[in-house]
Amino acid sequence: MGEKWNIARANQLLRAALAEIDELAEKLSPARAEALLDEFEHDISGAFLHRDMSSAVMAHCETYARRFRALGEEKE
């Protein structure tokens, strides 16, 4: 199957992605930042509910981190 559920690792990935969102929030309009946060929350909640590390938590966090960095670079 996938990587075994590791709550510490999942929380670490989640905190890192949320930190990226927080940094980006200062560069985006409040509405855009809120929309991104809502989208992320929707996508990641299922991963935590299903305790799916490899295909959900890791993939979502990494994907969103890349998106946030790209958006941040656009705004600079």
Residue 54 resides in a domain: yes
The Cα 75–Cα 29 span in angstroms is: 11
Residue 21 lies in domain: 7-75
* Domain tally, the chain: 1
Band of residue 61 on the pLDDT scale cut at 50, 70, 90 = confident
Question: Is 50 within a domain?
Answer: yes
User: For residues 47 and 10, what is the distance between their CA atoms, to the nearest angstrom?
Assistant: 9
Q: Is residue 11 part of a domain?
A: yes
Residue 1 lies in a domain: no
**In-domain check, residue 16:** yes
Domain assignment present for residue 53? The answer is yes
Its pTM stands at 0.61
- How many CB atoms sit inside 10 A of residue 55's CB? 13
Q: Assess if residue 2 is contained within a domain.
A: no
In degrees, rounded to 5, the angle at the alpha carbon of residue 54 between the alpha carbons of residues 37 and 4 is: 125
Model confidence band, residue 1 (pLDDT cutoffs 50, 70, 90): very low
| Domain-embedded: residue 57 | yes
CA separation for the pair 5, 48 (Å, rounded) = 9
Confidence of residue 35 (pLDDT cuts 50, 70, 90): confident
